[in-house]
Amino acid sequence: MAIPRFSSLLRFRKLAKSDWLVASIGFVLTVFFLSFFFDPTSDSTTLSVDRSLPISDLVKLKLSSKAKGRRAFCLDGSLPGYHFHEGSGSGSKSWLVHLEGGGWCNTIASCSARAMTKLGSSNYFEQEVAFQGVLSSDPSQNPEFFNWNKVAIRYCDGASFAGHPEAEFKNETRLFFRGQLIWEAIIDELLSMGMSDAKRAILTGCSAGGLATLIHCDYFRDHLPKDAAVKCVSDAGFFLNVPDVLGKPTMSSFYHDVVNLQGIGKSLDQKCVAKMEPSMCMFPHEFLKYIETPVFLVNPAYDLWQIQNVLVPISADPDKRWAKCRLNIKDCDAAQMKVLQGFRSSLMDAIGEFHQNKDGGMFIDSCYAHCQTVMTVTWHSPTSTRIENKTIAESVGDWYFNRNPVKLIDCPYPERRFLKLLNAVES
């Protein structure tokens, strides 16, 4: 494969001055939309309403008709739901199922708080949401999948659709850890709506939904026709088990609490669980090799959420030395950039084995972002990041339809500035 062309944030320098405003506004809005914290009330990776879109582009909410009988409830006991847009023409037998993101909860207190938001209760779901990016029905914005049946499953369990009832606390909190049942109930419902006759299908999701995509990828494949072309696309779901800047295991400790609280062990890859502590099997690096269904990874090498919450959580920056750098990678000094390059190296090491997987694909860009498939500006637009002159949408399309192998990795950010900073640090 040719060396990937550097084409992330710095490529905006090539734009004409008249294009700078549009590109800058798009990037600022992207970062605002994509950043979120462990805070269970945060919703910036969730689906949203865009009133600037035509009413025809807003998709109505449907509460699951099978959930009550399966006792599949959101954290607060309300019914889970999804948004469905019917396919047409050549896409009538094709299905794209998207799993919404939005972090996790690891304590009774955080789950109780989450249960009072749209990340834990359907009582707060929007009745209509915008389908953008990979969910868009506009061929100019979503050239490969615009006319497919498209489903967005709302996220209201706090454990990547993987919690189990036996882990529930029978006390006054009245929390329901039933993510696995939500997943199974809605998939059964979609199968009864025509997905059982699918010829093509993709399971995708962003952030916690991207992790859920990997957790449930083979289940999705196993419940569809054997002759269907079924693949999975995980967006910003490759969370790393790296210590924070103080050397503390922030993410592994957090996952340990999530797994134990919500009884996720049974949903995780059992080959992985047989070899190590279950919470370690929340990290894709540990279980990706066991997934039999073809997988495509969309991930920024400088994942904004992971840098802000895993590498440099607020608790690890008491003197606020990282305050500016955490918000904008361009404000990082030489020493901080060296740490961020180390984070990128950890990602490169973690995906090294997957890079050899002949059926797998990847698009690892150098943007400071989190979740890039759910917004048109990052999925497929004139200002979208490109690697080897391909947008994420074009890269996923080439991979899904077997037109070309796709293993795209962008150069470090920013290529020239990075080298200058490294020289400064080492001198």
Annotated catalytic residues are: 207, 303, 370
3-state SS assignment for residue 368:
strand
| Exposure letters 248-267 (e unless 16+ CB within 10 A, then b) | eebbbebbbebbebbbbbeb
Strand segments, DSSP code E, in 245-324 are 295-303
Spatial distance between the Cα atoms of 5 and 47, rounded to a whole number of angstroms = 32
Closest-CA residue to 35 (of 398, 420, 371, 392): 371
Residue 362: DSSP 8-state: E
Any residues with CB less than 8 A from the CB of 317 and at least 6 apart, and which?
245, 323, 326
d(CA 305, CA 389): 26
Dist CA 298 CA 151 (whole Å): 19
- CB-hemisphere CA count at 13 Å for 54? 5
Number of separate helices (H) and strands (E) present in the chain: 15, 10
Which value, to the nearest 10 degrees, does the dihedral of the CA atoms of residues 197, 201, 203, 206 take?
Answer: -130
Measure the CA angle with vertex 269, ends 263 and 272; round to 5°: 105
Return the closest-CA partner of residue 182 out of 273, 63, 95, 88.
63
Upper half-sphere CA count for residue 332 (Cβ side, 13 Å): 26
What is the Rg, in whole angstroms, of the alpha carbon atoms belonging to the chain?
21
Beta-carbon contacts of 232 under 8 Å, excluding residues fewer than 6 positions away, are: 202, 203, 204, 213, 214, 217, 220, 221, 291, 293, 294, 295, 296
User: For the chain, how long is the longest CA-to-CA vector?
Assistant: 66
